[in-house]
């Protein structure tokens, strides 16, 4: 009965005209940037974050969240029609989606993608409602040692699940934490690593850093690569899948929902890992695995369902624990902090309107996305024809105006440009910016938890291993690091052999 009361309260918040408008704007923009390759939700949320300072925190997070899960819908369009993933989570969809398009079945591929995404998102949201509040109550038992160990575990898992070198990812996470240490020491009041620059006394701003790494860095990379898209010319006919398509897709949609939900809760899992897991499961259990890679609709239905289920369930650790499971939600946590809201288990008690309003707005947003994606496929195809040379000046202008509008300080613009060059060089030399951002966002939380833990133990490090929950989290984190080392050594030996 209490849960029903919370849900009704959430819908009361989400259904206000202002929040409905921001929800629609978020999912529409999310679909758009999912369709257009070369930008992504991280860069878009970073660019728009300064604009949200003029609206309420609830409206801001509803809109930014809509961009995130809306991009999961839009990314499948480019994967199916031009064999280029508009969003990283749609990489797997290219394998069978584009083959279906070549066979004249682009319509059913797009249709089952949108419907599977809707089902996966809705079912996953029910799980979020059921688990987020109990997890937040459980997290109230956490003290500083448990939080330190949990952040340590999150950083180790996220660093190892990227596409590049694990060592490079760990180095980026460490560098992000060092960057987060810049500013006034909260305990002593002594400036650290500021080089006499007064702007840095308050620390490195999250907005210029993230906008530089993902906004400016993405622009520089795409300009250099001269992204050209070969648009699939065949006219898209019937969108709704046939009866046979439904029969073949219902199992993958159900399994994709479960896989996406559970992997989304795990730090480092989220939408990306769940798509690969779903595709592997479907191919493994299929009676005709040889059809995968040749246009099997199961290879579209399962991963597309999983990525949306994972995107929704990844809000559980962010809202309940204050720990982002991936870089997009690390940026969302930055938005909460900028609005003066501390994420974590007390969020539910102190800001129930935000907690329940954001969750219930996702039900509304998913319904909007289904309407936007099925009838408007032709419009999204036309948008693919917009040259990137017309897009990047507008993106650059948003970045410059957005950063300056926060503090009216030109040094913040210089910081953004600096991080933009750093982001470009990271991509150039295969260093992933995502672990850096995770380290930057979690740095102050981890440092405070570490200091408070040592104060409780009078300087003894054993506190992290003598408290049960902390010891378990620390053991898993160290175990993950050992696995990375062993896998790295074996990979090097195979390369040498």
Task: Provide the residue ranges of all domains of the chain, joining segments of one domain with +.
Answer: 2-228+241-496
- CA dist., res. 428 & res. 33, Å (int): 23
Q: Do 35 and 74 touch, CB atoms closer than 8 A?
A: yes
Give me the residues paired with residue 184 across strands.
Answer: 191
pLDDT score of 227: 54
E strands of 266-339, at which residues?
none
Q: How far lies 447's CA from each of 185, 213, 356, in Å? A: 10, 23, 30
DSSP category for residue 214:
I
Dihedral through CA 161, CA 167, CA 170, CA 172, nearest 10?
A: -110
Identify the pLDDT of residue 237.
65
pLDDT at 278: 86
State the pLDDT at residue 18: 92
Length of the chain: 497
Classify the phi-psi angles of 430: left when phi > 0, otherwise alpha if psi is within -120 to 50, otherwise beta.
Answer: left
3-class secondary structure, 328: helix
125/120 Cα distance (integer angstroms): 9
Q: Do 255 and 299 form a contact (C-beta atoms < 8 A)?
A: no
Residue 239 CA to residue 423 CA, distance in Å, equals 40
User: Angle at the Cα of 457 (from 456 to 458), degrees rounded to 5?
Assistant: 95
CA angle at residue 256 from 253 to 262, to 5 degrees?
145
- Helices 433-456 and 410-428 pack at an angle, to 10 degrees, of 110
Helix (H, G, I), strand (E, B) or coil at 16: coil
Tens digit of each residue's pLDDT, the chain (497 residues)? 677 888 888 889 989 999 999 999 999 888 887 777 656 777 778 778 777 888 888 999 999 998 888 887 777 777 777 666 666 667 778 778 888 888 878 888 888 888 888 888 888 888 888 887 787 777 777 888 988 988 888 788 766 655 567 788 888 888 988 998 888 887 777 888 888 888 888 888 777 887 788 778 877 877 776 655 555 555 666 777 888 888 888 889 999 899 888 877 776 556 667 787 788 888 888 888 878 888 888 888 888 898 888 888 888 888 877 777 777 787 888 888 888 888 777 787 788 888 889 889 988 998 888 887 767 766 766 666 666 677 677 777 777 777 777 677 888 888 888 998 998 898 888 887 878 887 887 888 888 889 999 988 888 888 999 898 899 989 988 888 888 777 777 777 666 55
Distance between CA atoms of 272 and 91, rounded to whole angstroms?
A: 9
Ordered alpha helix ranges (H), 140-232: 144-160, 166-180, 206-210, 217-225
Give the model's pLDDT for residue 180.
87
Q: Report which of 330, 366, 312, 340 is spatially closest to residue 58, judged by C-alpha positions.
A: 340
pLDDT of 3: 74
């Amino acid at each position: 009965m209490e849960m029903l009361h919370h849900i009704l309260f959430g819908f009361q918040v989400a259904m206000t005209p202002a929040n409905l408008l921001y929800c629609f704007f978020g999912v529409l923009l999310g679909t758009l940037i999912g369709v257009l390759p070369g930008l992504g939700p991280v860069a878009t949320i970073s660019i728009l974050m300064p604009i949200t300072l003029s609206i309420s925190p609830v409206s801001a997070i509803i809109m930014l969240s809509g961009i995130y899960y809306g991009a999961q819908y839009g990314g499948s369009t480019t994967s199916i029609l031009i064999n280029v993933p508009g969003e990283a989570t749609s990489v797997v969809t290219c394998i069978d989606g584009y083959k279906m398009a070549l066979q004249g079945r682009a319509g059913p591929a797009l249709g089952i993608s949108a419907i599977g995404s809707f089902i996966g998102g809705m079912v996953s949201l029910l799980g979020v409602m059921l688990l987020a509040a109990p997890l937040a109550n459980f997290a109230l038992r956490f003290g500083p040692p448990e939080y330190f160990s949990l952040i340590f575990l999150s950083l180790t898992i996220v660093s190892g699940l990227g596409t590049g070198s694990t060592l490079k990812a760990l180095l980026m996470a460490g560098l992000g934490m060092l960057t987060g240490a810049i500013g006034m020491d909260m305990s002593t009041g002594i400036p650290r690593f500021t080089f006499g620059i007064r702007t840095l006394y308050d620390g490195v701003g999250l907005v210029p850093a993230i906008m530089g790494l993902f906004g400016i860095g993405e622009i520089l990379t795409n300009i250099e690569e001269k992204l050209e898209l070969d648009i699939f010319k065949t006219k898209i006919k019937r969108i709704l899948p046939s009866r046979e398509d439904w029969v073949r897709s219902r199992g993958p949609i159900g399994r994709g929902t479960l896989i996406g939900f559970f992997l989304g809760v795990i730090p480092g899992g989220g939408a990306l890992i769940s798509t690969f897991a779903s595709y592997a499961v479907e191919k493994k259990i299929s009676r005709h695995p040889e059809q995968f890679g040749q246009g099997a609709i199961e290879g579209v239905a399962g991963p597309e369902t999983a990525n949306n289920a994972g995107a929704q369930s990844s809000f559980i650790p962010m809202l309940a624990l204050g720990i982002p499971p991936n870089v997009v939600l690390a940026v969302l946590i930055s938005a909460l902090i900028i609005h003066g809201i501390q994420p974590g288990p007390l969020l539910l008690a102190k800001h129930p309107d935000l907690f329940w309003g954001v969750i219930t707005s996702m039900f509304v947003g998913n319904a909007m996305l289904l309407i936007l994606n099925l009838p408007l496929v032709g419009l999204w195809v036309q948008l693919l024809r917009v040259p990137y040379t017309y897009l990047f000046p507008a993106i650059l202008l948003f970045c410059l105006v957005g950063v300056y509008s926060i503090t009216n300080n030109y040094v913040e613009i210089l910081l953004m440009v600096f991080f933009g060059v750093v982001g470009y060089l990271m991509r150039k030399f295969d260093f992933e910016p995502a672990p850096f951002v995770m380290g930057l966002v979690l740095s102050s939380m981890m440092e405070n938890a570490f200091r408070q833990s040592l104060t409780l133990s009078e300087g003894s490090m054993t506190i992290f291993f003598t408290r049960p929950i902390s010891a378990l989290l620390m053991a898993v984190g160290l175990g993950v690091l050992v696995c990375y080392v062993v896998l790295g050594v074996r990979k090097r030996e195979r390369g040498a052999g």
